[in-house]
Structure 1
């Protein structure tokens, strides 16, 4: 619309009645949401923009497609936009993305999130795991000081699978054997006294020293003091890598003990376990293959670390700690 025609149209807005004004607002709201999302994508991606094919930093504008500016790489000639190579590439309905990010902050189940933003439940489920793909990678680079580590277990779930490798359970069911078995997913959580947290789904059954080497060692400061329960895997891991280690014997009823001027306990990490499991109840069962995404989602919410939909979406398209 040319400027004179727009000015004439804009000058007539005050004469609209109530229903007509609401109709105009309903028509403009999606476009306003789209403009906000496009501006946020450009703000996040422009500082380090490069070709996803060859990594070249030199590019020039090459038209607009799907509401996003396209670029052509000067080195390889390939075209791309700011979402190419990100988990949100090729997703539609961009105007609803910020509103959907807020449903993640509100921890809404799939159907309630779909109803709030007006999409199909399958779309809401697909968006959930696309948005969380890089959110789960936004973790602290290192744990320092006194680091508490402990594992917790959840019953293995094949929810949503078309084929099961075991008999189906009714309403989630329970393990066929008591204690720790191969029917349980082991979740390792390590947390220092500053609140920095890392976690990993180590596998099925009891925790091993080899799993600690794979999932904990790369994130652990070698000068840290590792506080755990009396699991032998932590003792073997600490001895092999010469890491200071103190254990509390929870089976004997010892919750806290003193080592010099430091209090040795695993209550912070156990509290995190409880908050995570209580939060999971709202989703009525989570498939084992998606557990890493839910662990990352919980870490994003814990202590209100992510406070806005814009911040969550920024992490979804650009990992901070890389």
Structure 2
């Protein structure tokens, strides 16, 4: 009773902003605890049965609950095929990595907070980014769609270069213009707040590159608003979209414009610069992260974590450490 009175006195001594901040922290911890304890499976990962009884069969050394399916007599852990599957790190560590990634914290910062090595945090972060990239493939754009591309300099960060001299930070490309040293990042957004960003290739984007990257996301008979670049022609013809070309600022009005996607470019360049360069082979993962952050900017961090955890848990997003370094890389484009 004395302890409760003590905490009540401390809480009452806080200012309104401090009490609101403390309340949000407590709610965030409670929601995270609910996610950690509510791990009962809804279906068997082997037989797919949803009506079977899932009986608890002990826990693994890392604390993960193990279940037994009464339909096919299979034993499996609660997070089978998700990003934390076969991971020795507890879910609290995964939530911290996801939170810091969304808040654009550095790997060294997270490693210091969790007292883990940089390479461990790097692998955890990229497993999450790999899963996030898969989730962002499900987004569809419709009605009024703005599209435009921007370019960043190729970066071989973390990879030893033997074919050329190392380039110091801030230096320009060796070749002028849109050479193969420039990475094309194309952004597309509709008026519903959906955002998709992808690396469409190196140098000047071709019609095949644009069609291959965005045809699965652009709904048919939409209105596509772009600049006068010719790389969108094949995409427009395939999706039977209405193509509105902006050749000059006088062609824009309150409805037909590309201001939104240009603002995305400015925001992306600022964030990209704060990372002090991202290895080009991983840039699609970070573009998926930027797109997700922009799409969920109105949500609280606890709501974002709950949304991500529930969606990732429903899908087979498990990748090995080896796949982190080999799958979904820009070098394969």
**Which TM-score band (shorter chain)?**
0.7 to 0.9
Report if the CA contact (8 A) 2:32-2:302 is conserved. no
1:255 Cα deviation from its structure 2 partner: 2.3
Contact 1:187 1:200 in 2 (8 A): yes
Alignment partner of 1:185: what SS? strand
Q: Match of 1:121?
A: 118
**What is the distance in 1 between the residues matched to 2:30 and 2:154?**
43
**Correspondence 1:257 to 2:251:** yes
Instruction: Supply the RMSD in Å over aligned alpha carbons.
Output: 3.2
TM-score (norm 2): 0.74
- The partner residue of 1:63 within 58, 61, 65 is 58
Whole-angstrom distance in 2 between the partners of 1:13 and 1:266: 59
Check conservation: 1:42, 1:82, Cα contact below 8 A: no
SS at match of 2:134: coil
1:244 shift after superposition:
0.4
CA shift digits 1:272-304 (9 cap, x unpaired): 011011011121110112112211221232262
Q: TM-score, normalised by structure 1?
A: 0.76
What is the CA–CA distance in structure 2 between the aligned matches of 1:157 and 1:188, rounded to whole Å? 17
- Post-superposition offset of 1:79: 2.5
Gaps of 5+ in 2: 5-27, 316-333
Q: Which residue of 1 aligns with 2:278?
A: 286
Is residue 110–residue 125 contact of structure 1 (8 Å, CA) maintained in 2? yes
The 5 Å alignment of 1:150-229 reads 150-162=148-160, 166-171=164-169, 173-229=171-227
CA–CA distance in structure 2, aligned partners of residues 274 and 35 of structure 1: 36
Provide the residue aligned with 1:270 in structure 2.
262
2:214–2:235: 8 Å Cα contact kept in structure 1?
no
| Larger gyration radius, structure 1 or structure 2 | 1
Name the SS for the 1:291 alignment partner. Answer: helix
Structure 1 residue 102 and structure 2 residue 99: aligned? yes
State which of 78, 81, 89 in structure 2 corresponds to 1:85: 81
Secondary structure at the aligned position of 1:136 is classed as helix
Deviations 1:66-92 (A, max 9, x none): 212102344554432122211222141
Call closer, same or farther: CA 1:258–1:201 in 2, change over 3 Å: closer
**How many residues are paired up?**
286
The change in CA–CA distance for 1:150 and 1:46 in structure 2 (over 3 A counts) is farther
Q: Conserved in 2, the CA contact under 8 Å of 1:99 and 1:309?
A: no
Equivalent residues of 1:34, 1:94 under 8 A apart: no
Give the Cα–Cα distance (whole angstroms) in 2 for the partners of residues 269 and 141 of structure 1.
Answer: 17
Q: What do residues 30-73 of structure 1 show as CA deviations (whole Å, max 9, x unaligned)?
A: xxx99975641453x5464431x454443432221121210234
Work out which of the residue numbers 43, 50, 53 in structure 1 matches 2:44.
Answer: 50
Q: Do the aligned partners of 2:129 and 2:288 also contact (CA within 8 Å) in 1?
A: yes
Equivalent residues of 1:230, 1:248 under 8 A apart: yes
Q: Is the 8 A contact 1:247 1:264 kept in 2?
A: no
Q: Taking structure 1 as reference, are residues 39 and 163 closer, same or farther at Cα in structure 2, changes over 3 Å only?
A: farther
Which residue is equivalent to 1:6?
Answer: none
Unmatched runs of 5 consecutive residues or more in structure 1:
1-10, 15-32
**Counterpart Cα distance in 2 of 1:160 and 1:80:** 37
